[in-house]
Amino acid sequence: MSARILIVDDLAPNLHLLVVKLAAEYYDVLTATSGEEALEIASKERLDLVLMDVMMPGMNGFEACRLLKENPNTWHVPVVMVTALEESKDRIRGLEAGADDFITKPIDDFNLMARVKSLLRLKMVTDQLISHTNTGTGNNRPAFEKMNAKPGNILIVEDHSTRSKKISVPLSKKHSVTVVTDPNLVPAHLKRGVDLVIVSLVSENFDGLRLCASIRHDENGRDVPILVVGDPDDETRLVRGYDLGVNDTLMRPIEIEELKARTQTQLRRKFYADSLRDNFNQNLEMVVTDSLTGLGNRRFFERSIEPLFEEMEAENQVFSIMVFDIDHFKRVNDILGHDMGDQILKEVAARLASNMRAIDIVSRYGGEEFMIAMPDTNEDAALLAADRVRGLIGGTPVYIKGQALHITTSVGVAEVLPNEKLRDVFKRADAALYRAKLAGRNRALSASTKKAA
């Protein structure tokens, strides 16, 4: 199932415009024409994001947002205020009401989708963290508020002193901020620990996008959120930034409250993900890791997908699994040795983990075989995801001890059918994997078709 977004606006043309934009991106869209109706829908429906107009008759958007954030069942749902109000005091009022972000009318498509995707990623991590505590959303709120108040360690990469001060000075009031002008210094800072990197795309002395790519390839930077600052007319490079792993964008000239809001959203996501990893490490009965790759092992996978089978039975929630297998791995071990084979396993595991969604369950199932479960995903969508990741693994060499090794994988994909057990769906996915091997390897096949993605 796609993310579910509620649009709240009293004007039909505005509603229609947003519905068309979001439906075109395959989101499940609900609508409300008043704050009261929005609250009623939120009390009955599972929501992943709310786009709330500010100016409405009766209950305005500020009040509706405040009530959503006070409700123990909906406080964790991100709210974006959609407003024509330009004054900073109005944006501050929205943030004080609990809004996570804001968009100014007329709505720019790129900014809209950037905000939506960024907050939906945060919502997925939030949901996963809540689910692993085994308590209700209301009981989790104090822990989340404590994390939200935590200061972050922010690294700004900007070689223009005036531009860097516009970012560093307001953020320094709450966070620890370091400014570097030389991108070659970034790896050392990542190694010491960074919660957010803010990168300038307008520097004349270094390529900001190249820096973003290098951060994502750095072992210490894979999970660090990246916020890039660019010019509004440079949309092509900003879009490319998302392809390289950028989490959010900020347009110049910088508005201070927007800077703070975007920074806080990314820090929240980082802190939530860190807490989720801590919970995994502290509860070995729930999360048993593979010592080589750091992924969950077979026991972890089998325990983690139990709730998915329960949700499927109770709520008819679809999900799929995929089985990745490294091609010719025995030959690699025989020729290059087991130490080299272990390094390949670790690299493939890292690429799988970094290219799947936060809610996906990724594990090393045994040997050179990896198993992934994708909640709310049918077989066709899972096959596309599997083929994308397969291409990423095979398209970039693995560098080990100075050697560039081209490693490929084969994938079998299967959607879980009603009344199936894990052994049943695994058997079908494994059969699809076997067909992919017979067909020449380095491809993804689904259980219901013999055609590749």
Name the residues annotated as catalytic: 368
If DSSP codes are grouped into helix, strand and coil, which group holds residue 335? helix
- Comparing C-alpha atoms, which of 191, 188, 211, 187 is closest to residue 199? 211
- Comparing C-alpha atoms, which of 157, 176, 165 is closest to residue 254? 165
Only one residue has tokens 């996008």, namely: 209
If DSSP codes are grouped into helix, strand and coil, which group holds residue 29? strand
Length of the chain: 453
Phi, psi of 446 (to 5 degrees): -100, 165
H or E stretch at 424? helix 422-438
User: 411, 348 in Cβ contact below 8 A?
Assistant: no
How many CA atoms within 13 Å lie on the side-chain side of 157?
A: 31
CA–CA separation, 215 vs 449, rounded Å? Answer: 39
CA–CA separation, 360 vs 124, rounded Å? Answer: 10
CA–CA separation, 231 vs 85, rounded Å? Answer: 22
CA–CA separation, 269 vs 117, rounded Å? Answer: 13
Phi, psi of 419 (to 5 degrees): 70, 5
If DSSP codes are grouped into helix, strand and coil, which group holds residue 78? coil
E strand spans, 9-90: 28-32, 49-53, 79-83
User: 295, 370 in Cβ contact below 8 A?
Assistant: yes
What is the pairing mode between strands 226-230 and 319-326? Answer: unpaired
